[in-house]
Amino acid sequence: MAFALSSMQVTSPAFAQHEAIPARYTGEGDDVSPPLAWHNVPEGTKGFAVICHDPDAPLVKDGSYGFIHWTLYNLPGDITGLDENTPVGTSGRNDFDKPGYGGPMPPQGHGKHLYYFLVLALDHQTALPEGLSVAELLKEVEPHLLGVDRLVGTYQRD
């Protein structure tokens, strides 16, 4: 199955598409994950995974570019979003080399970065172990992908 966008739509009550992510959800604030919501999920969805990626980060690691801020999976297929600082799901490893969410904090003076909050709809409920990297997660879920959408937020340190 192709890794392609679908009719699913991802939003957040905390920030709009291509708008600034509030400091509360960044490394300069409380560093908690933002609330997310999604609708129009593909028919047959049984599970979800969430990834937050900063493609503007000046980092190349294991053949990929940017910085992974969040890898979350084993999310049930009957949910329509995540609360702020969600306890739901299983945390993967971010590029801070920690589990869970690590908020935006681009280098000082590096300008505005884009943060892609990707929601992946899957055709089965996963039961993957804690601590997977984004590459390991994608290897496991790509064959089960029904659809993807993303909410893009921005953040810039002064």
Residue 104 lies in a domain: yes
Q: What domain count does the chain have?
A: 1
Residue 79 lies in a domain: yes
Task: Name residues whose C-beta falls within 8 Å of residue 101's C-beta, 6 or more positions apart in sequence.
Answer: 31, 32, 33, 52, 69, 70, 72, 85, 91, 94
Residue 46 lies in a domain: yes
Mean pLDDT of 7-12: 95
Residue 66 lies in a domain: yes
- Label residue 110 by pLDDT band (50, 70, 90): confident
Residue 4 lies in a domain: no
Decide: helix, strand or coil at residue 23: helix
pLDDT digits (tens, 9 = 90+) for 112-149: 999 999 999 999 999 999 999 999 999 999 999 999 99
**Residue 81's domain is classified under what CATH number?**
3.90.280.10
Mean pLDDT score of the chain, rounded to an integer?
A: 92
Residue 113 lies in a domain: yes
pLDDT digits (tens, 9 = 90+) for 11-54: 999 999 999 999 999 999 999 999 999 999 999 999 999 999 99
pTM assigned to the model: 0.93
Domain range for 39: 9-156
pLDDT score of 4: 60
Residue 2 lies in a domain: no
Buried b (16+ CB within 10 A) or exposed e, 37-49: bbeebeeebebbb
Cα–Cα nearest to 92, from 138, 124, 47, 156: 138
